[in-house]
Amino acid sequence: MKKLDEKKIIGLINKKGKNFLSEDIEIFRLGNEQFAVSVDTLVESTDIPKGSKLSDISRKSIVSSVSDFAAKGVSPKFCIISLTLPSKITQRQVEEISKGFTKACKEFGIQLLGGDTNRGTEISIHVVLFGKAKKIVKRNSCKIGDVICTTGPFGYTGAALNIMLKNKKSSKEFIKKTKKMFFSPTPPLDFGIKSVNFMTASMDSSDGLASCLNEMANQSKKKFVIDNLPVNPDVIEFSKKNRIDLLKLIFSGGEEFEIVFTANPKDLKKIHCIGKNLGIKVIEIGHVIKGKGVFLGTHSKQLEFWYKGWDHFR
């Protein structure tokens, strides 16, 4: 029997349901008002590297959902948390988990309404986030001629995983920087909210830049041409020193929690201004043209995009 991947599983569920996981968040109406909701799951065996602080992990479980809201331009207001814990969990560990929840809620102005606890074989955290949505930016609404942008560089989290799991070498400064970005990410929520009227399509990049670009291109039925790599010199140096594929670090790392979006060229000046005021350097990485798929290359040479992002079942 052929092993199922995440996209195949979603496709099978969609045959019986409607739009299962088609967006970063889902929209529903109560009377005349529109609301947004997202759900995200963090599992110990797949999402928690050895040596992680539980307070960082529990904060990150909320950050994952906040990042989805940021990509849609919606402000989160309330959350519900379901927490599964092993029977061997200690009081100190539970207090650490609680500390992370409290920190994230205070940081993003979210009220924790309540939740549920259960016993299991490992730590599992499910976060449901709610907010009021006047408008959202979808994944499939880019236009031919749009510019593809990100709210930051890529490759640091992939480098951090290589350092932690494969003992790759680098300077103390670079190691500290990558681990901070991996364990304590801050999604560009204010940027997403303030840019909602200028982004034509957008998506959270937590499953990797490649996965994000392919999903947006496929849903939009457009071709994405990437001609500028969103990477800083220190990541390039790290890849060379450790003989790691630079493109894999950039496109397949995951856990960056940046916004990948498209915009009309006439709005780029306003977008860069919003980013500058928030301390965010918006990077223009490519453009949208007629066709299908994601391609990497120059105007004279285009290569079919082969790098894949994170898949829970790969």
Q: Label the pairing between strands 293-297 and 223-226.
A: parallel
Q: What is the pLDDT of residues 82-101, one digit of tens each?
A: 999 999 999 999 999 999 99
The arrangement of secondary structure in 147-304, i.e. its CATH architecture, is Alpha-Beta Complex (3.90)
Confidence of residue 24 (pLDDT cuts 50, 70, 90): confident
Give the integer Cα–Cα distance in Å for 115 and 109: 18
Confidence of residue 15 (pLDDT cuts 50, 70, 90): low
Q: Which residues contact 30 (CB under 8 A, 6 or more apart)?
A: none
Say whether 139 sits in a helix, a strand or coil: coil
Name the amino acid, one letter, at 252.
Answer: S
Contact yes or no for 207/252 (Cβ under 8 A): no
The pLDDT of 109-137, averaged and rounded, is 95
99's tokens: 């500390």
State the alpha helices, DSSP H only, in 75-127.
91-108
Contact yes or no for 305/293 (Cβ under 8 A): yes
Parse the chain into domains and list their residue ranges. Answer: 23-132, 147-304
295's tokens: 């391609």
Say whether 45 sits in a helix, a strand or coil: helix
Which H, E and C letters describe 71-84, residue by residue? HHCCCEEEEEEEEE
186's tokens: 């801050």
**CATH (one of 3.40.50.2300, 3.30.1330.10, 3.40.50.720, 3.40.50.1010) for 23-132:** 3.30.1330.10
More confident: 205 or 305:
205
pLDDT higher than threshold 90 for residue 51: no
So what's the pLDDT on residue 3? 66
